[in-house]
Amino acid sequence: MQQTTSMTHSFAVVICAYTHDRWDETLAAVASVQQQAPDELLLVVDHNPGLHARLADCLPGVRVVPNHNERGLSGARNTGVELTSADVVVFLDDDAAARPGWLAGLARHYDDPNVLGVGGRIDPHWATERPAWWPTEFDWVVGCNYTGQRAGVVRNLIGANASFRRELFADGGFVTGIGRSAAVQRPTGCEETEFCIRAGKVRPNGVFIYDDRAAVVHNVPAERQRFFYFRTRCFSEGLSKAKVTHSVGVASGLASEWSYTTVTLPVGILRGLVRAARGDLAGLLTAGAIGVGLMWTTAGYLIGSASQRWVTMREGSR
């Protein structure tokens, strides 16, 4: 049975796909949205004609379009905005599936005119099982919510499960050069962070809401459960944060990160050590992983910041 949403606003759901490797996950994502009866559903394929043709043939009732902007997630999302007309644009990753009540959970907040966007909970679905060493404080590495987050007003939303008022995109939409792209081999991110900060500066009375009742499940493939990926993703996050702070300023770009690094992570390390002292040696592993994750993220940020300053100096000397 389809779940209808008694809303005063219209909602367009945009799913961005780019690879045949996520075929089953993409179909599951589309099916999960169809069960919730959005006003519009758009599947954007990022510069992959073969995948576009295959999806269009398999999903005759779904509007499947190519990304007509720059290659990458930001360009694909902006295409989705441009080709829909609903009041609110909702983004769901192609390897995530919405839980029942997801769209209604996002929609309930938009009667408040100060709400600029709403995001929901993102639960990891591990290909095997959560690695014993993987700290919940670092579930953002796989695009999911993490320990330290609380429901309510937040600085920015996580792109795998996020919705925004259409008028926010009048300021230019998602910028390219920060988030994921086929041209960038590193697993970067933060395009929605920059977008939310920029939108908040233009509309200082506006807020973004995180509602943990609007949930999706995000697939975590086996290759992303490895320590090498964990370390690489942390370093890449630091690089992305450097680009964000270069764009919006350090105070705004790192506002949430200060409490995360000074409170959430130390508490997580202490919790792991306490577990180890009680005989659960996995606690020692998670404590160590938190330290490694923080170190690599910081290293990425410092290197990225130095690179941004160098580029600025070179441009200024021309």
Full pLDDT tens readout for the chain, 318 residues: 344 444 589 999 999 999 999 999 999 999 999 999 999 999 999 999 999 999 999 999 999 999 999 999 999 999 999 999 999 999 999 999 999 999 999 999 999 999 999 999 999 999 999 999 999 999 999 999 999 898 999 999 999 999 999 999 998 899 886 655 444 445 556 789 889 988 988 888 999 999 999 999 999 999 999 999 999 999 999 998 888 787 666 666 576 788 899 999 999 999 999 999 999 999 999 999 999 999 999 999 999 989 877 766 676 666
| DSSP-based three-state secondary structure for 38 | coil
Round to whole Å and give the CA distance between 199 and 207. Answer: 10
Q: Give pTM, 2 decimals.
A: 0.89
Alpha-carbon torsion 177, 179, 232, 289, what sign?
positive
Quote the tokens at residue 268: 């997580």
DSSP character at residue 260: I
Round to whole Å and give the CA distance between 199 and 178. Answer: 16
User: pLDDT per residue over 3-43, tens digit each?
Assistant: 444 458 999 999 999 999 999 999 999 999 999 999 999 99
Comparing CA positions, the residue from 199, 162, 159, 152 lying closest to residue 178 is 159
Q: 42 vs 60, 85, 289, 300, 315, CA distance in Å?
A: 12, 11, 39, 35, 39
Quote the tokens at residue 226: 């490895």
Contact 232, 186 (CB under 8 A): yes
Count the neighbouring beta carbons within 10 Å of the beta carbon of residue 295: 14
Domain architecture of the chain: domains with CATH: 11-227 (3.90.550.10)
Count the neighbouring beta carbons within 10 Å of the beta carbon of residue 96: 25
Round to whole Å and give the CA distance between 119 and 143. Answer: 13
Contact 193, 156 (CB under 8 A): yes
User: pLDDT per residue over 179-197, tens digit each?
Assistant: 554 444 455 567 898 899 8
Contact 243, 254 (CB under 8 A): no
